[in-house]
Amino acid sequence: MSDTVKQFSVRVLKDAPLMEFLAERLKDYSRTQLKSLLSHRQLWLNGELMLTRHDHPLKAGDRVDVRSSKTMRRNQKLEHSQLKVVFEDEHIMVVYKNEGFLTVGTDREKLQTVYHVLNQYMKTFGQDKRIFVVHRLDRETSGLLVFAKSKEVQEALQSNWETLMKERSYTAIVKGQLPEQQGVIKAYLWEDKQLRMHASETDNGGQYAETKYSVMGTKGPYSMVQLWLKTGRKNQIRVHLQSVGCPIVGDKKYGGPASPIKRVCLHAGLLTFKHPMTGQMMHFEWPIPSSFNKLVRVK
């Protein structure tokens, strides 16, 4: 990042969680200051991975870089109840959106969208500034999204998506129990005239899709499941879970039961990808909504 400067580096001498390491090695910093470095995305591991978790495990021999960035302070200018800027540089923007908030406009709604809000935000830095859509989340899904700040970066991300995107993880609360504690759901997905997706175990001309899953915990009629996209199809996770008899709680469109917490229980909480322009590995996590724990609590 052209306007990001490395202030100093600290070598890890023994295995330790990040915050424990910082408290021991940066004794001149208060606990609040250390947390601020983390929340403002100023800590990097070995010059490649942005550190976002206070308990990230460090290994002896690692290097933690403490950086300052002019762009970090710009994030405070966007104030919106449904949206938060997580990271921003001159090429990309990573944001978190609440459930119930559209990524892009529809025939019925043009303004109450992530895309519109971010474009209005960009215009505060010049009339020629705008945002470019890279991927989307369903309206009912909360979670992390990446946007580009130029057509060039948008094309770089979209044309090399499978290579650059290293991990995308979701958390869902589903009805019932999956066939195994861990597995991969495989099916061909196709769309009907009502724009509803369907799954087929055999190739019927639809798009092949794979979703890896791991059961995190079960309580009563519900299970909490972590899911990883191996392909990125429309409504993929929702349709795949329905196809194995475990629809997402609150997802009426795909057979889910009514939600006690008044939302579709699907959350896109983890993104790891290679920056399309700098080549740096970017890692972002957003905690599971606390309301999910009312249905299934896991450690």
Q: Is 279 exposed, middle or buried (0-12, 13-18, 19+ CB in 10 A)?
A: exposed
Alpha carbon distance 150, 45 (integer Å):
27
What letter represents residue 259's amino acid?
S
Residues 153, 277: contact at Cβ < 8 Å? Answer: yes
CA angle, residues 83, 84, 85, in degrees to nearest 5: 130
Task: Please list the active-site residues.
Answer: 138
Report the amino acid identity of residue 121. Y
